[in-house]
Amino acid sequence: MFGRIGRAAVLRPWVTISAWIVAAVALAVLAPQLKSTSDQADFLPSHYESVQAAKVQERAFPQHEQPAAVAVFQRADGQKLTAADRTEVAEIASRLQGLGIDRIKRVETGPQAVSPNGRIALASVVATVKDPYDPGLMKSVGKLREQARPMLEGTGLKLGVTGQAASALDSKEASGDTDSMIMSATLVLIVVLLLLIFRSPLIAVLPVLIIGLAFMVATGLISTAAEIGGLKADSSISAILIVVLFGVGTDYILFLLFRHREQLRSGQAPKQAMITAVSLVGETIASAAGAVIVAFLALLLSTMGMLRTMGPSLAISVAVALLAGLTLVPAVFSLLGTKAYWPSKSWREQPKNAVAARVGRLAARRPGVVAAVTGGLLAVLAGGVLGFRAEFDTTSSLPQHLESVRAMRDMQRGFPAGETDPTTVYLEKSGGPALTPGQLEAYGAALGKVDGVGQVSPAVLAGDGRVARYSVVLDHKPTGEKAINVVAGPLRDTAHRAAPEGTRALVGGTTAVLGDIENAVNHDYRVVFPAAGVAIMLILGLLLRSVVAPLYLMVSVALGFGATLGATVWLFQNSQGKDGLLFTLPVIVYLFVVAIGTDYNILMVARLREEIEQGRPPREAAARAVARCVPTIGAASVILAGTFGVLMLAENSMLQQMGFAVAFGILLSAFVMAMLLVPALTTLLGRRAWWPGLRPAAAPEPVPVRDGDRTLV
């Protein structure tokens, strides 16, 4: 089948290229634009308590206003605020409100906004929009900061703005233009490394153009599916699409070009060499893409809307990269022939590949030692997973000099840490008389006795008196682990237990949402990962027509996953003293290390089988397969790892964690697992690795190909 696909693309290159260009242009013009959204309604399923609490709020307290940001005032000399200082604070708040800044409804303060120790005064910034991550609101918070600075001159006061909107603004600015940085670094790495590998300017540039065309098609298909087929996607997926498409796209192009050059060196004509290359590695590329696609589609089993949205979009992008690798790449390079490698003449001569040959001989001659050492290394690194702690506080990763971080520390000198974002408890009565004052007071007192609760506001009743709202300020930072443990544990337990007969209690707010997300993430670990593993193993079984090989391949993949996550724990959590690591990090490692990194294992094991089918003994087959695959795997993995490694230059520690984990995991998958562990295990098992049996390889039949007035074979 793949020979026919390659033949069609090579013999009708202009038809193939034109079809791709027409598709890209048509989708760019006709497909709807991906819309940016911050709607988190589907982030968690409706059965989670925080979601139910949000619905009660919308129904019973539609006008409830939560400050989007908090202005923190203090004296510059650190002393207690005087009466004159408090007057200045009130005047500044009034002047800020009078500016009429877009999306800011009120800036208000009062006697209750001064801390018990008299050192800190707060002004609540109430927005006209409910979403604290609204781009317009974040811009307005930045403007409020600018307008407030001259008002402080001569007052002896300092001001810092913190809270959700302010932290979101600082996070965005601290990240910088990450998308552009990733794109620029990716392009530079691809061009430079391909130039070094092939010593050809055409091969350095063409993959970038080909993948760019595929990116246009993928984006158009995703937006069309989102509009017509109900697929949920938004413009935030673009950054990750860049990495996925350029990562897997470059891998597939390299798989094909290295095999094309190998066939040229064996004496085949350029067009026939490309047809043979597609025939030989087409199944490998399709299997690698299939493994990535099913891994991404397994995210549909996630309980979190963010991941369910991401899965189908990434699956579409990989499918487009596969199609481009099997059709567009052969068509383009069939037109160029050997000119694609100009000015290099390396396609004419067999390379020495001394390093690759030594690696192959090592894996073939000492398979037991290699397997023990590499497996032991992965196991030791994987031990770090036992200490993994999930960090849900995304603001903790921000540089400490940012205003929202400093203002939060200042506020905590006078107020409970949870003042900026209180947890909300709703007490709802379904029938009978309204809630009585005695019930409300007793319930509030019970909430106030929970360890970790700083203060509980008096109950606010809805119009019919059947729903009461309590604002609960925690002693801990709302997004921190301690606050999440309090809300998900003793506060919820007390809220449910102390609820009067005939009522139900619901705990909501940011901290409650994070507690539910933690439960959802743990659910996904138990469901998504095993489902993806089984699907990938089935694909490997179909590719290799073996029951044994997929089993030890998946064991090696699991070891690689653990080693990657464990190494990140050792580096960031243990060595640098972090409270925890990004809570989505295991999913990110799964997406980019397990799913995409499996490509290298598939390429290696497919070549191992090919060598075995040609009648070579296991040790010779391993030596030859490793020697042939090392340049391809090395080049592809360095490009992909380098792309993610750029994230380590960001100031945001969570981006640094992500960059290190993925870059390290990709290199581990390539240089330890694919090049050493998998060939060593395959050699140890011998022909048993391919049970229930092997079949002789069918060499691709030469196909007459016209080249001008000559017929080439």
Strands 710-712 and 705-707 turn out to be: antiparallel
pLDDT at position 174 is: 65
Find the helix or strand (DSSP H, E) in which 55 lies.
helix 49-60
The token pair that represents 541 in the structure block: 């079984």
Confidence of residue 177 (pLDDT cuts 50, 70, 90): low
Q: In the structure encoding, which two tokens stand for residue 699, read together?
A: 């060499």
**Given a cut of 90, is residue 491 above it in pLDDT?**
yes
For the segment 446-460, the average pLDDT, to the nearest whole number, is 91
Report how far residue 188's alpha carbon sits from residue 329's, in angstroms, rounded to the nearest whole number: 20
pLDDT in tens, 667-697: 999 899 988 998 899 888 888 888 876 655 4
Percent of the chain residues past pLDDT 70, beyond the cut: 89
Question: Per-residue confidence at 40, pLDDT binned at 50, 70, 90?
Answer: very low
* Confidence (pTM): 0.77
Over residues 498-524, the mean pLDDT reads: 88
Residue type, 281: V
Q: SS3 of 126, please? A: strand
Q: What is the mean pLDDT of residues 617-630?
A: 86
Alpha-carbon distance of 685 to 678, in angstroms, equals 11
706's CB contacts (< 8 A; 6+ apart) are: 712
Burial 202-241 (b: 16+ CB within 10 A, else e): bbbebbbebbebbbbbbbbbbbbbbeeeebbbbeebbebb
- List % helix, strand, coil for the chain (3-state, nearest 5): 65, 10, 25
Rounded CA-CA distance 423/311 in Å is 32
Lowest mean pLDDT: which of 97-106, 287-296, 327-336? 287-296
Q: Which span out of 255-264, 308-317, 399-408, 449-458 was modeled with the highest average pLDDT? A: 449-458
Per-residue pLDDT for 603 more than 80?
A: yes
Share above pLDDT 90 across residues of the chain, in percent, rounded to a whole number = 19
For 36-56, b where at least 16 C-beta lie within 10 A, e where not — what string?
eeeeeeebbeeebbbbbbbeb
- Residue range 424-436: average pLDDT? 87
Query: Given the structure tokens 């063409």, which residue do they identify?
Result: 206
Residue 713, pLDDT > 60, answer no
d(CA 671, CA 638): 10
Are 687 and 613 within 8 A, CB to CB? no
Q: 350: pLDDT confidence band, cut at 50, 70 and 90?
A: low
Say how far apart CA 509 and CA 530 lie, in whole Å. Answer: 32
Cα 476 to the center of its chain, rounded Å: 28
Which one has a higher pLDDT value, 596 or 322?
Answer: 322
Structure tokens at 632: 């391809």
Over residues 128-150, the mean pLDDT reads 88
Residue the block writes with tokens 């996070």? 171
Q: How far is CA 550 from CA 285, 463, 542, 594, 623, in A?
A: 17, 63, 9, 14, 21
Segment 295-304 shows an average pLDDT of: 83
Q: How confident is the model at residue 698 (pLDDT cuts 50, 70, 90)?
A: very low
Which residues are 159's β-sheet partners?
Answer: 73
Check pLDDT > 50 for residue 199.
yes
At residue 700 the predicted structure's pLDDT band, cuts being 50, 70 and 90, is very low
Block residue for tokens 């998946």: 554
* Residue 409 phi, psi dihedral angles, 5° rounding: -65, -40
Lowest mean pLDDT across 151-165, 191-205, 297-311, 510-524: 297-311
Q: Out of 123-132, 241-250, 355-364, which region has the weakest mean confidence (pLDDT)?
A: 241-250
**Residue 291 backbone class (left: φ over 0; alpha: ψ -120 to 50; beta: rest):** alpha
* Angstrom distance (rounded) from CA 255 to CA 15: 24
CA separation for the pair 134, 584 (Å, rounded): 23
The per-residue pLDDT for range 524-571, each reduced to its tens digit, is 888 888 888 888 888 888 877 888 888 888 888 889 899 999 999 998
Instruction: Output the average pLDDT for the chain.
Output: 82
How many CB atoms are closer than 10 A to CB 469? 21
* Residue 505 pLDDT exceeds 90: yes
* pLDDT in the model for residue 72: 92
Q: Which among 60-74, 450-464, 694-708 has the top mean pLDDT?
A: 450-464
* pLDDT higher than threshold 50 for residue 41: no
Q: What's the mean pLDDT in 191-214?
A: 85
CA distance 306 to 57: 23
The structure tokens 């997926």 sit at: 237
**What gap in Å lies between CA 60 and CA 293, rounded to an integer?**
44
Residue 674: other Cβ atoms inside 10 A: 28
